[in-house]
Amino acid sequence: MGTTCGFRIYRLESFEEISNSEKFPEESQVPFVGGISHIAILYKTQILALVGACPNKKLSSQSVLIYDDYQKKKLQERPFISAVLNVLMFKDRLVVVLQTSVYVFNLLQGFAVELHSKTCANPRGVCAISSSQDRAVLATLGLVEGELAVQSYFLGTSRTIKVFSAAIQHVSISIDVIPGSDAV
């Protein structure tokens, strides 16, 4: 959970706090002054993707910091020309959503761009990924308002679907697929 002073991580089973960046010593390598606007955690690790809440602070709203919470150190940082509106992680991929584009980076290949797609205006950072490690599905806005672009990393397929006549405000993915259906 991003806060105005940093972030906190809780274990879902027990709701036990397992990390609190607000308790870091002053000499910590990563100051979280200004807060965290977006946070994502890499599947069952302590590797985080963090986006700052302010454009002019050390941790900017226009960059993504890959941070190892176990070692309490910065691993990599990637700046962008505009504010990051959403950040997601799955497998060894990082998804970064900007106002009119989505980037997918391969973290094992040193932040190599795996996918860059343009979208219609996306002020809410609408994007979703499946939570399954073996059925990675990414859903982003399409180029036209009301369209959803869906990419299956598991099947190696992608589709654009007209789902609404107005702007899409939120999207969510379920990994439950009915056998025999032609779901992406």
Domain ranges of the chain: 1-84, 91-184
The reported pLDDT for the residue numbered 80 is 93
Give pTM, 2 decimals.
0.83
Question: 3-state DSSP call for residue 98?
Answer: coil
pLDDT tens by residue, 52-74: 887 656 778 899 999 888 888 88
Q: What is the pLDDT of residues 144-182, one digit of tens each?
A: 999 999 988 767 788 988 988 888 888 888 766 544 455
111-to-77, 106, 114, 125, 129 alpha-carbon distances in Å = 9, 5, 9, 20, 18
Residue-level pLDDT at 41: 87
Q: How confident is the model at residue 31, as a pLDDT?
A: 58
